[in-house]
Structures are given as C-alpha cells and as structure tokens.
Structure 1
Amino acid sequence: MARKKSLKGLGARYGIKIRKEYTKIHFQLKEKRPCPECGSAKFGRVAVGIWECRKCGFKVAGTAYGVKV
C-alpha cells in the first residue's frame, strides 16, 4: 500500500488533526483543474477566492479552497 506524501514544514507540531487537515487543503489547492471556458488544465488560484486560467485568461470568483463553476 502506497503512503500519501506528507508535507514538510510543520514537523511534529500542532497535533495530528490539524496537520491532516492542512495536508488535505494543500493537495486540494494544488490539484489540476480544467478551465470551464477553454478546457485546458491550467486553471488555478491567483489569490483567495480568485481563480484564473493561465492559457485563455478567464477569471472567476469562487471559494477560498475550491471553485464551483
């Protein structure tokens, strides 16, 4: 069984529950998403709540950690 990659930087601090939640949100932010306009996989977060396609320039406001288009 393969282990999920853990994040470095938190070490043994803050407790396991917070580290697991941090890891879950971090991987959710970094996953590749298709652009709703052009379909390319270059759709990502620019700032909190602002998502943009790096190919076509399409911008949309969404939630802080994900976008529902």
Structure 2
Amino acid sequence: MAKTKAKGRKTRSAGRFGVRYGTKSRKLVADIEEKMHAEYTCSRCGAKRVRRTATGIWTCTKCEATFTGGSYVPQTPAHLTVMRAVQVERSRVS
C-alpha cells in the first residue's frame, strides 16, 4: 500500500491558488508570505511582537511603536548595510 503524505505540505500558504499560476509563482508567494508573517523583534522594547500594518508599515503590538520598513520584512538588506556603515563611522569618530 502506498504511503500518503500530509496534505498541503508542498503548497503551504499558496495552496489557495490550486493548480493555477504555475509552481514557481506559487512557491515565490509562499516564501514571501512566510517572511511577512514571521516573528520580528521590536527595536524599541525588544519584544517579538512586530506585525505588518500595511505595505512598508510595521507596528509593535506591545509598545505600539510604528515604523517604516520593507514591504515584506521590517529591515531590508539595504537598511542593514546602511546601519553597519553608520556603526563603523561612529566608531571612527569616537
């Protein structure tokens, strides 16, 4: 007898599209939605309660701090690069 696998294991959140739009597009959507709904840490209070309010707008549900970020993640790779450069510059000045 053939083993059955867990339903929805491959489709993840993009399973709502059924067989439409192609495998690659559904996989990309599922990857983005996993990043978007992941737990993120608030830079103000340190709690893991940051939620996406709208495109590029993120809010901490504990301290109610609202800040801007990327469309799908609070800190984009470009933001992290700039913050690293600022830290290096601050260490040179002091």
More helix by percentage: 2
**8 Å contact kept, 2:36–2:52:** yes
Q: Rg larger in 1 or in 2? A: 2
Aligned to 1:6: 12
**Structure 1: any 5+ residue segments left out of the alignment?**
none
* Counterpart for residue 43 of structure 1: 50
Q: Work out the CA distance in 2 between the residues paired with 1:19 and 1:46.
A: 23
Q: Do the aligned partners of 2:11 and 2:26 also contact (CA within 8 Å) in 1?
A: no
Q: Which runs of 4+ in 1 moved over 6 A?
A: none
- Aligned partners of 1:4, 1:39: CA distance in 2, in Å? 33
User: SS of the residue aligned with 2:17?
Assistant: coil
Query: Gaps spanning 5+ residues in structure 2: where?
Result: 1-8, 80-94
- State the identity as a percent: 34
Q: Tell me which of the two structures has the higher relative contact order, counting C-alpha pairs closer than 8 angstroms and 6 or more residues apart.
A: 1
Equivalent position amino acid for 1:34 in 2: T
Q: Could you list the per-position Cα deviations for residues 11-62 of structure 1 after superposition, in whole angstroms to 9, with x for gaps in the alignment?
A: 1110011000000001001100111100111111001110010000111111
- Within-5 A mapping of 1:1-69: 6-7=12-13, 8-68=15-75
Normalising by structure 2, we get a TM-score of: 0.65
Aligned residue pairs, count:
67
Higher strand proportion, which one?
Answer: 1
